[in-house]
Structure 1
Amino acid sequence: MASNHSPYSQRLSVVDDPRSPITYLITDCPNEKSLLEDYLPLLQAHDCSNVVRLCDGGAYNADPLRQHGITVWDWPFEDGSVPPEAIISAYRDMLDSLTSSTATSDTDAKRRDSGRSGNASSIVGKSKPAVAIHCISGIGRAPVLVAAALIDCGVDPVEAVELVRAKRRGALNKRQLAWLMDKKGGFKRKKRGKDGKGSIGKMFAGFLGKKD
């Protein structure tokens, strides 16, 4: 007998860190039957309007999500492998854009709020956007992209892997681990400015440091 319990309440892994301006939701691949009944409410509960799909687009029709205001980014690559440079570049652009637009809208909200209450700092805690990332089982391709984003924010590769694995048991295979750890021939951390921050970290730090 099929269970009516949402599978995603058990299979969702929330990866968050103070150094990251984005909260990451790692999930299994949803199916069309439960897409609106289970998966959409999960996204809405975390105020998440961006989904990164790393498996084949034929796994499910994403139009119902799009009709509810969810942007679905299709960046498939081979199961058990590491993302090609083109996907890493597009992924970084998306994260930068999301962080930038969030910082801008929240700065405007802070100004409006400060005029009413004189306490704009309360807005900051509500401003962190969420991105959902899934492959098929959520233990390979999705975790490797989350770990890469954390490393781009300045998290040490070993710590990034530990953070992901603490939330997602069994995540990352040997090939993916080697790629994340190899600074020369593997994943190349985003170039950082003289202040030691990448573009994502700069926008987040700049936003937190703004004063009216």
Structure 2
Amino acid sequence: MSIIAGTEKQSSFNQTNRNTQTEIPFQTIHVSKLSNPASLVEYNGLKFLIFDSPTDDNVDNYISELKRYNVTDVVRCCHPSYDKKKLINNKIAIHELVYQDEGCPSSRIISDFMRIVHAIFPNDQNPLGITLGVHCLSGIGRAPTLVAIALIELGMENTDAMKLVRRKRSGAINVLQSRFIQSYVPQEKRMCNIA
């Protein structure tokens, strides 16, 4: 096996076109060190990485994964299960937005989350290709719900936002959270109705 110009090339018969005897290049696939791999959700160039909560024993594996995705900030939606100093020492900022497991975020949590989103992605742009990490305990309830809400706030239709998150993160968003997302009205629209 040899590495040629960023692609891995295998010299076995299984990787050779039988008619022309030319070798077929293939890309190396990254294998996550996480027992529950993180899920990347992208919309209009903005990137969110949803994952479950690290522990002090495995936080280094998570840091490797966060760096691979160019995560600069992490939003933690659950009570701490690891020392945040490890992330901070690796130049990853952490934001605490804890709310009830299997529940829906309050308007304050949503406002705080959207302030973070707009700070990370000014003018809804991502010229540096960075990713915002979002996690809760299991990575299938609170974190995906906040990401779906961000997608709606950024212009995606409610149903499409939920479908995208669920497609990227198997088992994400429970029934209560699904109803909340379906009926969610973006903050900007709410402000227009008040005036």
TM class, shorter-chain normalised?
0.7 to 0.9
Name the structure 1 match of 2:68: 45
- What is the alpha-carbon distance in structure 1 between the residues aligned to residue 115 and residue 132 of structure 2? 13
- What is the alpha-carbon distance in structure 1 between the residues aligned to residue 151 and residue 182 of structure 2? 13
1:33 maps to 2:30: no
Normalised to the residue count of structure 2, the TM-score between the two structures is: 0.75
- Amino acid of the structure 2 residue aligned with 1:79: D
Name the structure 1 match of 2:187: 190
In the TM superposition, residue 67 of structure 1 has moved relative to its aligned partner by: 1.2
In the TM superposition, residue 91 of structure 1 has moved relative to its aligned partner by: 0.8
Larger radius of gyration: 2
Residue of 102, 113, 127 corresponding to 1:91: 113
1:74 maps to 2:75: no
- What is the alpha-carbon distance in structure 2 between the residues aligned to residue 67 and residue 189 of structure 1? 35
Normalised to the residue count of structure 1, the TM-score between the two structures is: 0.70
Provide closer, same or farther for how the CA distance between residues 101 and 62 of structure 1 changes in structure 2, counting only shifts above 3 A: farther
Gaps of 5+ in 2: 1-31, 190-195
- Amino acid of the structure 2 residue aligned with 1:137: S
- What is the alpha-carbon distance in structure 2 between the residues aligned to residue 16 and residue 89 of structure 1? 21
Does structure 1 retain, via aligned residues, the 8 Å contact 2:118–2:124? Answer: no
Q: Kindly indicate which of the two structures has a greater share of residues assigned to strand.
A: 2
Provide closer, same or farther for how the CA distance between residues 149 and 101 of structure 1 changes in structure 2, counting only shifts above 3 A: closer
Name the structure 2 match of 1:54: 77
Does structure 1 retain, via aligned residues, the 8 Å contact 2:120–2:132? Answer: no
Does structure 2 retain, via aligned residues, the 8 Å contact 1:28–1:136? Answer: yes
- What is the alpha-carbon distance in structure 2 between the residues aligned to residue 160 and residue 94 of structure 1? 19
Q: Secondary structure of the equivalent of 2:48?
A: strand
In the TM superposition, residue 17 of structure 1 has moved relative to its aligned partner by: 2.0
Q: How does 1:2-41 map to 2 (within 5 A)?
A: 6-7=33-34, 10-18=36-44, 21-36=45-60, 38-41=61-64
Gaps of 5+ in 1: 107-123, 193-212
Does structure 2 retain, via aligned residues, the 8 Å contact 1:53–1:134? Answer: yes
Does structure 2 retain, via aligned residues, the 8 Å contact 1:102–1:129? Answer: no
- What is the alpha-carbon distance in structure 2 between the residues aligned to residue 95 and residue 189 of structure 1? 14
- What is the alpha-carbon distance in structure 1 between the residues aligned to residue 38 and residue 69 of structure 2? 11
Superposed CA RMSD in Å reads: 1.9
Q: Kindly indicate which of the two structures has a greater share of residues assigned to helix.
A: 1
